[in-house]
Amino acid sequence: MAWRRVPTSYDGQTLTIEAELFVNSIYVAYFAPYSSERHQMLITGAMPHEAVSVSVLGQTLDGRDLDLIQIGEPAPEKRAIWVTARQHPGETMAERWMEGFLERMLDPISAMSKDLLARAVFYVVPNMNPDGSARGHLRTNAAGVNLNREWHEPSLESSPEVYFVLNKMIETGCDLALDVHGDEALPYNFIAGTEGIPSWSDRLEDLLERFKSSYMKSSNGVFQTQYGYPRNSPGKANLTISSNALAERFECLAMTLEMPFKDDANHPDKQFGWSPERAKQLGADARSPLLAVMPSLR
């Protein structure tokens, strides 16, 4: 199915979409959808790789599988890297990012990927919210809960997705966590750090700046640091949010990556805006910053 951007306008009451139709029916979306079928293709496509093991962490409230892709085998000297996406199911650019990231990580001839896998085990959850995705929710699961506000005390009754992932993290450890999202307001790619957690330190500050600097270079400036959320004041972080909760619990580098819905204002594309292909490329570009911080994660 082909996706293209069409002219839209909003006068405060009415959203107007202008499109010349060549077929009997069309789909209209804020950002290109990511279907359950495509998710299954992503999971099954990873399975044949020698370094990959796929498991189900548990079932959601609607009885759907919560999939985990593990790349590499644990060893005492290896870091534990967690990458999650789509806590907010409507932010489908996050799973497109995952496609690009996984394709590069599983490239058998990539020296950079081999280096990363020699140093770390990767635990990847491409879709944290299968129920919300199937139901067409923007930010919540089947219970109407925002999963990114459940990381202090998740429960099987309201947030089993977070409960299962957090328990697995406690089992494996977590040296770095990257949670991938989309932001409806800011037209930039940026990272929200965890500067407001009680245990924030110079070490974490250095790791964060090193990661962001490397990401800017690897993405040719598509990832940027000028625009983003305001830093939390010391000790004022919301510890129910994934990155804050994990940074505090594991004393690790934890970050929230945000991408735009409409376009990247620094690199606008009048025809396609911020497209699935561009989100996928940003995922592919994430290996260099991971490698840049790897030696100092412990």
CA distance linking residue 193 with residue 172, whole number of Å: 23
Q: What is the 3-state secondary structure of 167-219?
A: HHHHHHCCCEEEEEEEECCCCCEEEECCCCCCCCCHHHHHHHHHHHHHHHHHC
Express each pLDDT in 186-243 by its tens digit. Answer: 999 999 999 999 999 999 999 999 999 999 999 999 999 999 999 999 999 999 999 9
What's the pLDDT score for residue 26? 79
What's the pLDDT score for residue 17? 83
DSSP string over 231-288: PPPTT---TTSHHHHHHHHH-SEEEEEEEESS--TTS--TTTSS-HHHHHHHHHTTHH
Containing domain of residue 259, as a range? 34-296
**Residue 234, in any domain of the structure:** yes
- Candidates 200, 192, 207, 168; CA nearest to 298 is 207
Bin 151: left if φ > 0, else alpha if -120 < ψ < 50, else beta.
alpha
Q: Helix, strand or coil for residue 20?
A: coil
Question: Pairing relation of β-strands 190-192 and 253-260?
Answer: antiparallel
**Residue 27, in any domain of the structure:** no
What is the CATH classification number for the domain harbouring 258?
3.40.630.10
**Residue 3, in any domain of the structure:** no
**Residue 16, in any domain of the structure:** no
**Residue 12, in any domain of the structure:** no
Instruction: Answer whether 165's CB lies under 8 Å from 128's CB.
Output: yes
Active site residue 258: yes
Output the furthest CA–CA distance in the chain (Å, rounded). Answer: 59
Task: Provide the domain count of the chain.
Answer: 1
Q: What is the mean pLDDT of residues 17-37?
A: 86
pLDDT score of 2 more than 70:
no
What's the pLDDT score for residue 3? 63
What's the pLDDT score for residue 183? 97
pLDDT score of 160 more than 90:
yes
**Residue 17, in any domain of the structure:** no
Q: What is the mean pLDDT of residues 105-126?
A: 97
Which one of the listed residues 18, 99, 258, 277 is annotated catalytic?
Answer: 258
pLDDT score of 169 more than 90:
yes
Q: State which amino acid sits at residue 293.
A: V
What's the pLDDT score for residue 27? 78
What's the pLDDT score for residue 279? 98
Q: Name the pTM for this structure.
A: 0.94
Q: What is the mean pLDDT of residues 47-51?
A: 96
Provide the pLDDT confidence category of residue 4 given band limits of 50, 70 and 90.
low
Express each pLDDT in 240-277 by its tens digit. Answer: 999 999 999 999 999 999 999 999 999 999 888 999 99
Rg, the chain, Cα only: 19
Provide the pLDDT confidence category of residue 182 given band limits of 50, 70 and 90.
very high
pLDDT score of 1 more than 60:
no
Q: Percentage of residues in the chain with pLDDT exceeding 90?
A: 89
What's the pLDDT score for residue 30? 83
Q: What is the dihedral of CA 245, 250, 252, 255, to 10 degrees?
A: -20
* Residue 200 token pair: 């924030």
What's the pLDDT score for residue 116? 98
**Residue 185, in any domain of the structure:** yes
What's the pLDDT score for residue 180? 98
Q: Percentage of residues in the chain with pLDDT exceeding 70?
A: 98
Provide the pLDDT confidence category of residue 99 given band limits of 50, 70 and 90.
very high
**Residue 265, in any domain of the structure:** yes
